[in-house]
Every structure is written in structure tokens, then in C-alpha cells.
Chains A and B, each alone.
Chain A
């Protein structure tokens, strides 16, 4: 990034001479500094998992969730500035609600598209900054399970396995090994837990808390937190697997 501090990187409404919008790239940096968030789309559902970095041991365990619910059947995990993520989630709920009023329960794609347009508008003007947050948005609609990722640039791409945040490269490596068309949602819960534990760097980073939500047959096609017993089992198995690995 040789163009840093040449003055072409101070506004979202400015291109650099080689055609880049630096402010958007910097926003991506904010995402890259955050705890990892992943999601897996399998044949009959979607599973979300987040590495919630515990910044203080005074925090109430289990509170301060980073996976948000957008509609009965849609959820969103965020990586980056939490406050920006809540802003995006609020917008996603509004979009979902509007779509529902006109057309009935919205498809995941329609909500992700709308959210992408919204995020993109924040890359156009010097009077705003882009969102320092990526939103992984997924759920189960009339066409089955669906998963998208909306980035600070405003793109919203569909995925079978999505990852954002600090450990995304390693997580994507792991995700690529999965057979999405064969896994059940329950199995995907174990995979998701394993990947989050794997990408967390014990040596360098603070403590973290695993957080998972899912949607599928077993959750009655509602987007909800993974039930306690399953969550604990997946969390434990993931820890065990890591220890054996070491």
C-alpha cells in the first residue's frame, strides 16, 4: 500500500490514481482484526459459529451475543465493529419486515441483496464512512438453506461456507474440506465448533467464548441458538480434538 498518506485515502469518495478506494480497504482491516465468525450451509440447514473474544473476565458469560436474529428464519453473524454490526442487523430487520409485509416471509437472498445495497451506499460519500463490519447472513426459506456474506464494500456473495475476521484464512481452508451436500445440520454444528476452536490462537490471544446458532429441521426451521446440551457436547468434542491434535 504505497499510496497510504498521499491524501487519496482520506475519503470514501476518493479514488487513488490506480483506481482503489482506500477507505473501503481500511474498513476491511477493522473486520480482519476481530474474532472469527463462520457459517456453514449444508443440505438441510445452516449453522453459525462465532469466536467471541473475552475482553474482560468481568463480562457476564453467555451475554452480549454476536449472532443476531433478523427474522424467524434468518440470522446474522458479524465480524468487525460490534456497534456497526448492530446497525446492519437493525437495517436487515427493517428490510426483512418490509419485504414480509409486501410478499410474505422474505428469502435470504432478497434480504442479503438489500443489505448489500445499503452497505454500498456508505462507500460513495465523503460524509460517511463504510461499515467496519462484515455480516454473514443466512437462514432457511422456501428454496431451502441459504448463506450470504455482506462485506464493507457492499458486495453480497452466496456461500456454502463463509468466514470473516481474524482467522478467516485458516477457517476457509477447513471449510473447503467439508462435504456440504452430505453433512447434516447436527454434524455441521460439530464441524463449526471444531473450526472455531482450531483457528483460535491460544498462545497469542485472550480467552474466548464460543457462540453458535442454527436453523434446520431440528430447530423447527426457526433461527435460534444451538440447544444447550448439543452446544456443550460440540464445544467439549472440539476441545478434546484439539488436545489430541497437539
Chain B
């Protein structure tokens, strides 16, 4: 059915209606369209980006850390961006990569939560493993359309006495581990986290909250020293059976003075 009244009772296009007296601009074109006529180009790179996210399992649940910087290329563009996002009451998401894509993910998970949990109100809530599974399909689905959401995401949480820590990225790659790090942290911080957590094989349940905080702080400091896209302000999220808490942004104490004692740096030039 042709729904445009201006087309009714007359030929459909100029080819067989060359002498039509009807003003052309008022008649909509509704012939076939070639979506690829001009070619399409999908996202080739992230624009405003966040860097590493770190997370470990510990005695009471999961602890996650991320700095508050969103860079525009190498420019430290936004210095107070929260990259840890709670979803429901059992789960926290931490994301590196494109921040606008991350915001889109936040919105779509919020819709999911309203549909699947809040309006149902039947005692069934989404836990970290369900959120992780859902994100897996979202991310893999998008990459299969060659239109990925340019993020690497850590999903952590506790539900029904079980803690969960999982990873998913723009390719749809997923895995679970006791320690996770994204971005630059995957190279620099991951060994440190493993040293601290996996060395105590089978005993990660013995890591106290204080120790966990210490491990993450040390790793965040190393990252700030070595990662040019990082910031000395970061937040920590803890997810336990009691719920979620995301800290205010805290300052990393750093030590730079030793450079003065090295030849070639500071005042001593010879």
C-alpha cells in the first residue's frame, strides 16, 4: 500500500511520468533505496577514552578501582568522570575505552533493569553473572555487525553468597578470573595483582578488605607512574553481601623527588 496521498492515481516516478504537472518537490520518493550507495564507515577508533580498570576478589566479595580521567586523544580532557557504575543492587561495572559507548551501555542496562527487575517485583533480581552474560551478547552482537561498542568492561559483584568477577570487551571476548585488569593495566598491573592474590592460591578468601584496598592502591600508583593516559585521582568500589559502595574520588600520593638525584635529571645536568 502506498501511504502517500500525493502519489495516488498517478504513475510512481519520473521515468514514466515525465510530463506530470504536479510539483515534483511535493512528491516523496519512495522507490527502492540502496543503503550502501554511498558506502558506510563504522567506528574506527574510540574518541573520548578511559584507561585501565582493576578488580580483585577478596574475603567479603569484589573490589574494583578506576581513575576518574576521560582523555581526548592524549589530552587529559575530563578529570572527574566516574567509570565505575552500579547496576541493580549486586553488581558494579567498570569500563575502559570509549566513554560515550559506556554511557550508552549504562542507559541500556538501566532499561533492562527496569524491565527485568523493578517492574516485575517478583523477588528475582539480576546478579553479576546475569549482567555479564547479557553484556556478552550485547558486545558480541555489535562486533558481529562491525559496529562495536568500543569498551573493555569488568563486571563484578556478589549475589546469593557467591562473588563473581568477569571480563568482556569490544570483540565479545569474555573470561572470569580472581584478578582482572583492562587496558594498560592488563600489562602493568595484572602481574602485580596476581602476585598479591593468586600467590595465595585457594586462600584468596583470606584477603581482608584493608589488604585488598592496599593491593589496588599500589597497583593504581604504579599505573599512574607508567600510564600516560592515567590520573592520580581514582575511585574504589566494594561489592559485598551487604551491598555496593563506591568511594569518593581519592588522591594518590606519589613520590617524584628521587629524580633529582639522578644524573641527567633535575638541576644536575652533567
- The reply to whether the CB of A97 lies closer than 8 angstroms to some CB of chain B is yes
Q: Tell me which of B66-74, B111-119, B205-213, B251-259 binds A.
A: B111-119
B44 at the A interface (CB under 8 A): no
Chain B residues closer than 8 Å to A224, beta-carbon distance: 121
Choice from B111, B120, B121 contacting A97 with Cβ under 8 Å? B111
Q: Give the interface size class of chain B.
A: under 10
Alpha-carbon distance between A70 and B121 when the two chains are bound, in angstroms: 10
Convert A74-90 into 0s and 1s, putting 1 for each residue whose CB lies closer than 8 angstroms to a CB of B: 00000000000000000
Residues of A within 8 A of B111 (CB): 97, 100-101
Residue of A nearest to B110 (CB): A100
Query: B118 to chain A: which residues have CB within 8 Å?
Result: 69, 71-72
Q: Which one of A65, A93, A225 contacts B115 once the chains associate, using CB atoms below 8 Å?
A: A93
Chain A positions within 8 Å of B121 at CB level: 65, 69, 224-225
Q: Which of B107, B115, B119 contacts A68 (CB 8 A)?
A: B119
> Hey, which chain A residues are within 8 Å of B120, CB to CB?
69
- A93 to B113, alpha carbons, bound, how many Å? 13
A213 to chain B: closest CB distance in Å?
A: 9
Report the nearest A residue to B120, measured CB to CB: A69
B78-110 near A? 1/0 per residue, CB < 8 Å? 000000000000000000000000000001000
Contacts of B107 in A (CB 8 A): 101
In the complex, chain B residues whose CB is within 8 Å of the CB of A101: 107, 111
B residues near A71, Cβ cutoff 8 Å = 114, 118-119
Within 8 A of B (CB), among A209-241: 224-225
Report the bound CA distance from A148 to B268 in whole Å.
78
Residues of B within 8 A of A72 (CB): 114, 118
Report the minimal beta-carbon distance from A105 to chain B, rounded to whole angstroms.
Answer: 10
- Cα A101 to Cα B114 in complex, Å, equals 12
Question: What is the minimal beta-carbon distance from A214 to any residue of chain B, in angstroms?
Answer: 13
- Which chain B positions have C-beta within 8 A of A65? 121
Within 39-93 of A, Cβ neighbours of B (below 8 Å) are at: 65, 68-72, 93
How near does chain A come to B255, taking the closest CB pair, in angstroms?
A: 44
A-contact 0/1 string along B243-257, CB 8 Å cutoff: 000000000000000
Bound CA–CA A69/B114 (angstroms)? 10
Interface residues of B in 165-189 (CB under 8 A from A): none
- The answer for the CA separation of A68 and B118 in the assembled complex, in Å, is 10
Instruction: List residues of chain A with CB within 8 A of the CB of B119.
Output: 68-71, 93
For B121, give the chain A residue with the smallest CB separation: A69
Q: Which residues of A contact B (CB under 8 A)?
A: 65, 68-72, 93, 97, 100-101, 224-225
Apart from A69-B120, A72-B114, A93-B119, 8 more pairs, CB < 8 Å:
A68-B119, A69-B118, A69-B119, A72-B118, A97-B111, A97-B114, A97-B115, A100-B111
23 contacts between A and B (CB under 8 A): A65-B121, A68-B119, A69-B118, A69-B119, A69-B120, A69-B121, A70-B119, A71-B114, A71-B118, A71-B119, A72-B114, A72-B118, A93-B115, A93-B119, A97-B111, A97-B114, A97-B115, A100-B111, A100-B114, A101-B107, A101-B111, A224-B121, A225-B121
